[in-house]
Each structure stands twice: as structure tokens, then as C-alpha cells.
Amino acid sequence: MRALTWHGRHDVRVETVPDPEVINPRDAILRVTSTAICGSDLHLYDGYIPTLRAGDVLGHEFMGEVVETGPKSTLKKGQRVVVPFTISCGDCFFCKKQQYSACDNSNPAETFDASRLLMGHPMGAAFGYAHLTGGYAGGQAEYVRVPYSDVGPIVVPDHVEDDEVLFLSDILPTGWMGAENAEIEEGDTVAVWGCGPVGLFAIQSAKIMGAHRVIAIDHYPRRLELAKQMGAEILDYREVDVREALDEMTGGIGPDACIDCVGMESHGLTIDNIADTLKAHTFLGTERPHALRQMIMACRKGGRISIPGVYGGFADKFPLGQMMEKGLTLKQGQTHVQKYTKPLLDMIEQGKIDTTFLISHRAPLEQAAEMYRHWHDEQDSYTKIVLKTEMAMPRQAQKEQQHELA
Amino acid sequence: MAEQSSSTTTKAIIGAGLAAAAGTAAFLLSRRTGSGGAPVEGISDAPDHVWRRGSDRYDANLLGNTVMIGRTPQELYDEWRDFTRFPRFMENVEKVEKLDDKSSHWTIKAPGGTSVEVVTRISEDKPGKAIAWASQPDSDIQTEGRVDFIEAPPGRGTYVRLLMRYDPPGGMIGKGIAKLMQREPKIQSRRDLRRFKSLMETGEIATNASPSGRKSETPTEPRI
């Protein structure tokens, strides 16, 4: 099959690799129909995540058609499913508490020691990410092996298009959980740093959860425009001092909740960020948490900080005292995707969430390497890229054509 | 003024030097006693295998790991009691043959593609609670093992604690080589327990076997 493989910093290639096979009884094999490039794929592309190996197949946002099932899979051949990026067994202590991304079985015995050493406890597994998270091949490929297929994948009805439900795999639940962790109350002003796909979904989710106002912060005009389209007030940090603007917009108290949809590769020419960038490039540090520092300073006393953005290790110059003295609550974590897929699918079907407004480009899987370059270099115009294994017509059009032929 | 400031600087440097020396001495001392001045008679409520070198209950040849498994002690005991099932989740155990209800013959992988033969006999058997075994005198290596099934807090299943006491083949050098090859028993037993947990909770053993662009791999073998 054809698949996108990682070979080093800024070096990804579409090449031919062996097809996946059913290994365990609960496995299923999918023929991927749509897959997206995620913001967190850029951390891999930039070489910031350790334990990735040359030849690894990337991709953790994908959906497709079931083509093969193990004896204990509950899926049926021909079903269309969206697959959560988190690989979760559904049986362990954590999965039973719906803390799916903390699954204690999915990271295999051969790989779990590395994250145990780095994080204190072994991390749950994910598709197409580093070997810290299990080293499973990802879905930017024609076919993919899906473990625990009886608990992860969600079957989608025929009348919805791929593009409407594809983001149930990661960014939609991630934005939703980001807003949920902000514990939004009536009358709240919520500030969202970063208007990438997760930020845009966090804005939409915060509105649905009853935020009185949402203020979005970024520096890409096109992304800020999309944020405005979702009902946010916008701040371009090149134009205004963000903290002063937030204070002035909230009567001097600051936002009630702040959501970090930026993560470890913060932009911006500030002294702390330049120092962090230098350290990251000389392997003296992993984090560039400029946005998070700013958030802690900006948040109102007794407010909440929610972090869906990805961080990988140790940060310094972290305003710990400020966090304590202001009495802030921090909530974060990899998304417990399986907890949210069903209710979010219902909301998509009811037309309550717009899931396609952010897609700027669609391209065949064969052009994936080129698309990574655009995604990395042209973040203003490339707001979300969806790759199609076959650049087929939309499903509805296909059906109509089949109907005509019949 | 300048003189005063320079003497302050000198004092600061001397102070920092003294502090560093004291810190180093304290560190070395704590390494030696293992516990930085812990009482001679131990007071900690921790299992024997986690005690530091030099402390009251330290045992150099004892190693152990505990894992929480969402099944009852009895279910886990029943699975473990049949030693012939070990090769399914113990990576370095190639084969276990039952000799009688208490004795079995194990073939264990050793570094360098060799294997060792061990005959073990169950020395303690408490249904639903614990099983202990020990190698018999004519075995290639001498080893003792014990597994305890301890009831976890309500709703959390069982703490399964695997304890092993062994004489590494080839002494310290053998232990070093074994460690390099990741067959060091502590790592091995942690992985074996992880596989046992996976099997007992999910009915299968998690594996990342899947395609990659590396010619040396097949999509059906685990990737390390």
C-alpha cells in the first residue's frame, strides 16, 4: 500500500510499504477514505518529539471502510467508521473511568518503559505518533490496523459526508474537551490562544457551552477571520498588547477562563520565546510555552486554565507563584476521544456544530509530503488539509452517479 | 566601596563553595547509607523489594514489581496456577512442561541465543492468595519466585506482586550483559506482568505490529 512515512526533520515521503494484517482478535483493518494532517503532526515534522523512527507511518486523524475484522471485533465489513486517535482498551481502570487517553493496556510491553521513565507512568497509545505512545502505524495510508475495534471506532451513517465527521477522530473532541476543562459558567468571558483547528473548535464549543463572550488570539488574519465567523472577538497580537487588551475588554479583571490551543511551539518575537527557541534548537529544552505564560498572567484571579495544546517535557521560567497566588485551576491532557464521539456525532447530525468551515485544502494522499510543507510554511492560508486516498467525488455525488448508471 | 564589594563577592564565593562541598558530602553519605540518615531499624510500611541499599530490610537479590489488574484475586490465581501458560506472557520462558501437580520443567531463553533448563517445585500454595516456587538443585540456574494476589481497594481488582530471588549466571558481569540485552530480570518481569495484565483485562496482548517503511520489519511482528 501507499503511506506517508517520516524520515527525519522536514523529511516525509509517500512510499510503498506492506499492507497491515489482523494480529489480535479485537483488531479490524480499514481502507482509509479520508485522513487529515494535524497541528501535532508538525511537532513530529519539526523533530520535537523523541522516539520517532525513520520509516514510521504517520497520521492519527482518519476514517474509512472496514475491510477485515478479527473474530472479536464487533464491526462489520463495509461499515464506515471514524477512529479516535487514542488507542484504548475499554477494560482497564482508566478506560472504565472514561479517561481513555490514559489507557493502561494499549502501549505494548516492548515500548511502555520509555514513557514510564519520562512521564512517571506509561502513556496510553496513539496512532502514527512516536514510540513513546506505542509506535503503532498511523492512518495517512491506504490501509490501517485498528486495535480494540470493538470500543474505539464509531460507525457513521451513510447520509453524512466524510468531511463532516472526519474530525471526530481528534480536533473536534479536543476543542470540545478544551472548552469543557475551562468549566464555563454563565456570563463568562473565555479567551482562546491559537486559532488553528483545535482553537476554532474550542471557540465553537465554548459558545455552545454558554460562554457569554469568546476572545480569540492569533496573528494569522485568515485564521482570525474564521474565529470571528464562529462568533469570537479577535486580537492580533502584532497589533495590540494582548494582556492590556484583555484587561480593558473585561473591566480590568481578565478573562474567567483561558484555553491554550498553541502548545509547545509558540510563535512571537518576545524575549522569553526567543530564549526558548534557542534552547529547543540546541536540545537544551523542549518547550516554548510563551502563550501559556501569558495566559497565567492574563487570567482573572480564581480563574481556570485549560490546556489542550501539546507539550512534551520540561519548561522553565514558569509562573508557578503567579498561579498559586491568583488561585488558578489548571486542567489539561490528551483527549479522551471515545468519551465524546457519540454526543458530538449527534450534534453534527442535528446541525449544531459546523465541522467543515475550516477545511482550506483537499489533496490526494500521493501529495501528502508537499501538503506537510504547505501546512508548515503557509499557516495563514492552509487552515486544514484533508487527504483523500482516492480523490473521489463526494459520497452523495457518487451515489447519484451509481443511480444514474443503474 | 569597591574594596568592600569585592570582599562581599569573595565571601559569597567561599559561602557557595562551602555549601556545594556540604551538599556533595551529604549526597555521598546518603548514597552510602542509602537513606540519608534513616533510622537503623526500619519504620517504612513498604514491601521488602523497594528498600534502599544499606537500609534495614534491603536484599540485593530480591526484585519485584506490582501491577493492578481489574479481575478478582481468585481468577488471577487460577490463571497463574497453571505454569504451562507462562510462555504466552513471559517473553523469556520458551516452554513449561508439567511434571506433577507441584513440579514443572522450564526452558528459559538466556543471552547469546542459548537457553537454560530449570525444574521448579511449588513451595507454597494459598488458593486465591499466593503461589511460591523454587528451582530444584539440579537446575542450570537457581531461582525462587513468588506471586501475591492482594485485594485492591473496592472496584479496582487486585494488586498482583511478582517477587523473584535469583543468582545471576556469570555473577555481576553476567548481570551487566543481561541488562544490556534487556533480559535483565527486573525489566523482564515488569514487561511480563504488563502482558499478563493486558491478557487478563482485554483477552489479548497489546502489540504495535503494523506496517513501516523499514525493510527489516514485517507488519506482523512487534516493533521495539
Q: For the domain that residue A122 is a member of, what is the CATH number?
A: 3.90.180.10
pLDDT for A404 beyond 90? no
Residue B28 lies in a domain: no
pLDDT for A393 beyond 50? no
Contact A331, A299 (CB under 8 A): no
Q: Phi and psi dihedrals of B55, rounded to 5?
A: -90, 175
Beta strands per DSSP E along A189-343: 189-193, 213-218, 233-236, 257-260, 304-307, 329-332
C-alpha to C-alpha distance for B98 and B139, rounded to whole angstroms: 15
3-state secondary structure of B74: helix
Residue B12 lies in a domain: no
The per-residue pLDDT for range A245-259, each reduced to its tens digit, is: 999 999 999 999 999
Q: Residue window 27-66, chain A: list those with CB within 8 Å of chain B.
A: 53-57
What is the nearest CA distance from B1 to chain A, expressed in angstroms? 34
Q: Which residues are CB-contacts of A315 (< 8 A; sequence separation ≥ 6)?
A: A285, A286, A287, A289, A292
pLDDT at B10: 57
Range of the domain at A246: 184-331
pLDDT confidence of B35, banded at 50, 70, 90? Answer: very low
Closest-CA residue of B relative to A127 is B208
Cell of B164: 523473584
A331, A359, A386 - which closes a domain = A331
- State the best of A4, A22, A24, A62 to mutate against chain B, taking most chain B CBs within 10 Å: A24
Q: What mean pLDDT is predicted for residues A348-372?
A: 97
Cα dist from A238 to A119, A199, A221, A231, whole Å: 36, 18, 11, 21
Whether residues A32 and A112 fall in one domain: yes
Buried b (16+ CB within 10 A) or exposed e, A9-22: eeebebeebbebbb
Whether residues A211 and A196 fall in one domain: yes
pLDDT at A270: 73
Residue B213 lies in a domain: no
Residue B218 lies in a domain: no
pLDDT at B60: 81
Percentage of residues of chain B with pLDDT beyond 70: 75
pLDDT at B171: 66
Of A89, A93, A111, the CB nearest to B202: A89
pLDDT for B66 beyond 60? yes
pLDDT at B142: 85
Q: Which residues are CB-contacts of B15 (< 8 A; sequence separation ≥ 6)?
A: none
A282, A305, A331 - which closes a domain = A331
Chain B residues bordering chain A (beta-carbon distance below 8 Å): 68, 70, 91, 156-157, 187, 190-192, 194-195, 197-198, 201-214, 217-220, 222-224
Residue B217 lies in a domain: no
pLDDT confidence of B216, banded at 50, 70, 90? Answer: confident
Q: What mean pLDDT is predicted for residues B199-205?
A: 98
pLDDT for B22 beyond 80? no
Q: Phi and psi dihedrals of A335, rounded to 5?
A: -70, 135
Whether residues A237 and A339 fall in one domain: no
C-alpha to C-alpha distance for A96 and A387, rounded to whole angstroms: 34
3-state secondary structure of A390: coil
Count of domains in chain B? 1
Helix (H) / strand (E) containing A126 = strand A125-126
Whether residues A64 and A126 fall in one domain: yes
Is A25 in Cβ contact with B205 (below 8 Å)? no
Residue A257 lies in a domain: yes
Percentage of residues of chain A with pLDDT beyond 70: 93
Range of the domain at B109: 60-202
A15 touches chain B (CB under 8 A): yes
Whether residues A17 and A35 fall in one domain: yes
C-alpha to C-alpha distance for B51 and B34, rounded to whole angstroms: 9
Contact A337, A85 (CB under 8 A): yes
Of A5, A23, A89, the CB nearest to B209: A23
Residue with cell 523499514: B214
pLDDT at B143: 85
Whether residues A45 and A120 fall in one domain: yes
Count of domains in chain A? 2
Task: Please count the residues of chain A.
Answer: 406
CATH number at residue A251: 3.40.50.720
A18 touches chain B (CB under 8 A): yes
A311, A331, A351 - which closes a domain = A331
Whether residues A326 and A344 fall in one domain: no
CATH number at residue B179: 3.30.530.20
The larger pLDDT score, comparing residue A205 to residue A280, is at A205
